[in-house]
Chain A
Amino acid sequence: MIWLLALQLAVGPAQHYENAKQDFAQRKFDESDSEVDAALHENPYMVPALVLKSRLAAFAHRPDVAKSCLITAITADPSSEEAQFFLGLFYYTQNDFKLAISPLQAAQKLAPKSPMPVFYLAMSLDALGDGARALQLYQQAEDLSPQKSPQSSSILVAYGRFLLLQGQVKQSIGKIQRAIEEDPESRDAHYELAKGLDYDGDFKDAAIEGERALTLPELGTTDAQIHFLLAKVYQKLNQPDLAKIHLEKFQAAPQTTLR
């Protein structure tokens, strides 16, 4: 009987975790949370479940819970690339870039072929002002990322944005154009390309890209950002009516700040 109970316990949390994963993928977060809690009730140190719990907590704006789960996961299994990566990602999203570096480096060592730890390392170092190392890591992330995927497109967009901030306009445009090739429906990519073209003095094409970005679903880049850019570009194209329309739309949106 004891062996039967042990078997049930072993199977139980795994099944709950699988259910939680499926619910999470279908964006059924409440159900996913219940299942993952059930899994962790039976096995409090089940690393994949702890990582999933942390992701659910982050969605629920409970950073304390998210962090606690990830630290428990890493304590239970320091060799979990997933736990290390998500702890780094957690710190990154909290703007704690210095703290993000160590777990991201650990994840990078554990999964040297994975582009995501390298990518977030690049963005963390970028945020910390270490441009030289960020540049190397963005390139490394690009090299590691699979071709023709939204993931590689996102990496190229961030890489291009970084290059534009460094004043490397042509190189930036090249990366963003490749991002669009890999994901033609990326609003971020079309917007960043419009920005690069604006810097480069190609206002006509900047307007085309900006208008294209406006037609794509809003995920990262907001309408207000695009209206701001288009207002500038149409002003430079000496099209004051269009500039005015976009400026008014930009001004009608809640003003954003970087902080």
Chain B
Amino acid sequence: MKPVITRRNFVAGLTAVSAGALNSRALQVARASSESARLDSGRLPAQYFETWSAEKTGIGWKHDNALSPERYLPESMGPGVAIFDYDNDGWMDLYFVNSGPADFFQPAKALRNALYRNNRDGTFTDVTEKAGVAGRDFGIGVAAADYDGDGWTDLLVTTYGRLILYRNNHDGTFTDVTKAAGLDEPGLFTSAVWFDSDNNGLLDLFVCHFAKYSKLLEHDCGTNGVRHYCYPKTYEPWPSRLYKNNGNGTFADISVSSGIAKHSGKAFGVVATDINNDGLLDLFVANDSVANFLYLNKGGGKFEEIGFQAGVAYSADGAARSGMGVDAIDFDGDGRQDLLVANISRERDSLYRNAGDNTFVDIAGRTGIGMATVMDTGWGARFADFDLDGRPDLILANGHPDDLIESINNSLHYREPLLLFHNNGNGFDNVSAAGGPAFKESYAARGLAVGDLDNDGHVDVVVGTNGGPPLILHNIVRNGNHWIGLNLTGLSVGARITWSANGVEHGIFKRGGGSYLSSCDPRDVLGLGTAEYADWIQVQWPAAIGRTDRFQHVLAGKYYSLAPGGKLL
């Protein structure tokens, strides 16, 4: 097949080369443009996202990172963001996590998390006070899910301080039920994931714990008398937590009995997926400066850590990397869940292809992701089908943790650009130059969540920035591709959705968690390419439900709700 270079590809490549003065990104884009032209017959979008400003959205909230001359570690971590529907009106609302009082920080004026209700017109209204979800401690991350199965989404906020569990009251308000739930635990918590660890139909909770930490354990990591954030190697690793849902609003800490607490790490990101297709959800945990963990679910509430054996613990040279964000997806359509870790600059991100025998091979280099990420520090990371071609693309939020890095290294930057990769079916093309205006800027980006903010079937992106306002990226890809939205009600993490469009089969495994500190739209958008309907859609529900539903000839262009055994509504 001869390469087809469209005028758009040619101009994009030419612009990239001239604007970038032959820098690496420009060359990659130029190359990516021609390769994509060959693989996608010129259907690569000219621009993926526009930026929705604070003036447009009405989102005036900003993250306060509590930056101090002493550079206390938690200052550099947040914030997380959540895209979820708190009032069940079918529109995604937004939640942002902020810093707050801690042993090293007493804010001059009260800081608060923020809940914004979606007004269904691209604007949002701050409903934090009414909802009662302002937070209390030094907030870091968030994980949204309906843990009590009442059909309303609840919120877990992770902090440096104590966890917060907000139960949804079904009336636009929440109640802090942390103590009653048995989750009133102190620590330095980062990402969290809700998932059914034992296939009993209830959502359990895994919470990443970073190092053993307090103000008194902080170090002076200075250069020429100026303090920097310490390299995490200086802190003592600590085990993460697994809480079993008792089904009565309370949780039991099973970290020890499950085997999770046997391993001390510095956990930043977690994703729940099924690496061996045995119907049990496994956990992949990215650690900073120590080996990553892959907890294989053995059933019966037991986990075995197999990171080394699986080949995902260390670099190829046996060095622990600084892993932050994670995600899991079957990016190559072979039916097996692959893993991604966003690492710090110079370490390159890892894309682990699942070899099918509980082992993985890092193919970041071969796919182009390795070289494209060598200069950036990745945090938020999410696969999503931004162009509705049925294949998951990838977006990465970057930013160096040390705000003073430029004073000690001329090659690195505190604020870094976002990165966007198009899945061409055979790997990834760096299409950041076509990402839109936001991709030409640099940010101290951290949490990242994806979701459809305007219910148009195109996946949007929300990025939390450390010490700054959130970034709202509205997907403007209009390439003629069609879509079907699917909202699985009830227990859905662990479900396997497959569909066929134009005779081509695609699939999504509904993982839990992923990215960094953040929570994504729980609905799935199925890309159909040019097809105006899906030949069929099949939902294999999680093992606890144990049934499969299948539907023929499903029309594109709308969201459907589906309960186990129900109809597409």
- A interface residues (Cβ-Cβ under 8 A, vs B): 95-99, 125, 127-133, 164-168, 195, 199, 224-225, 227-229, 231-232, 235, 247, 250, 255-259
Contacts and interface: CB of A to CB of B under 8 A. Distances in A.
A231 B316 CA distance: 12
A227 B314 CA distance: 13
A258 B411 contact: no
Nearest to B320: A257
Given A129-B371, A132-B24, A257 B361 contact: no
A56 to B, nearest CB: 23
A257 B372 contact: no
A167 B365 contact: yes
B23 A229 contact: no
Contact of B410 (A96, A199, A258): A96
19 contacts: A96-B411, A98-B410, A98-B411, A128-B375, A128-B411, A129-B374, A133-B24, A133-B27, A165-B370, A166-B370, A167-B363, A167-B370, A228-B317, A228-B318, A232-B311, A255-B290, A257-B289, A257-B320, A259-B289
Interface size on B, as a range, is 35 or more
Contact of A199 (B231, B315, B317, B361): B361
Given A256-B319, A258-B319, A228 B314 contact: yes
Given A127-B374, A132-B31, A228-B317, 12 more contacts: A95-B409, A97-B411, A127-B411, A128-B374, A129-B373, A166-B370, A167-B367, A199-B361, A228-B318, A257-B320, A258-B347, A259-B347
B321 A258 contact: yes
B309 interface: yes
B318 A165 contact: no
Contacts of B367: 167
Given A129-B372, A232-B311, A225 B346 contact: no
A199 B373 CA distance: 21
Contacts of B363: 167
B130 interface: no
Contacts of B159: none
A166 B362 CA distance: 11
A85 to B, nearest CB: 19
B371 to A, nearest CB: 4
Nearest to B370: A165
Interface in B23-51: 23-24, 27-28, 31
B10 interface: no
B308 interface: yes
B73 interface: no
Given A129-B372, A132-B24, A250-B318, A165 B365 contact: yes
A166 B346 contact: no
Contact of A130 (B23, B308, B311, B314): B23
A164 B365 contact: yes
B233 interface: yes
Contacts of A130: 23-24, 27
B366 interface: yes
Contacts of B98: none
Q: Which secondary structure dominates chain A's binding surface? A: helix
A92 B346 CA distance: 13
B398 interface: no
A246 to B, nearest CB: 10
B264 interface: no
Nearest to A253: B318
A95 B411 contact: yes
B530 to A, nearest CB: 31
A167 B366 contact: yes
3 closest cross-chain pairs (CB), A and B: A167-B366, A228-B318, A130-B24
B273 interface: no
B344 interface: yes
Contacts of A229: 318
Contacts of B297: none
B276 interface: no
A197 B240 CA distance: 36
A135 to B, nearest CB: 10
Contacts of A165: 348, 365, 370-371
Interface in B349-388: 361, 363, 365-367, 370-375
Interface in B423-458: none
A35 to B, nearest CB: 32
A224 B23 contact: no
Contact of B308 (A99, A225, A247): A247
Nearest to B375: A129
B319 A257 contact: yes
Most buried by A among B322, B347, B372, B375: B375
B371 A131 contact: yes
Contacts of B372: 129
B69 to A, nearest CB: 23
Interface string B290-305: 1100000000000000
Most buried by B among A95, A98, A130: A130
B334 to A, nearest CB: 17
A127 B346 CA distance: 7
A235 B365 CA distance: 24
A257 B321 contact: yes
B544 to A, nearest CB: 33
B308 A166 contact: no
B20 to A, nearest CB: 11
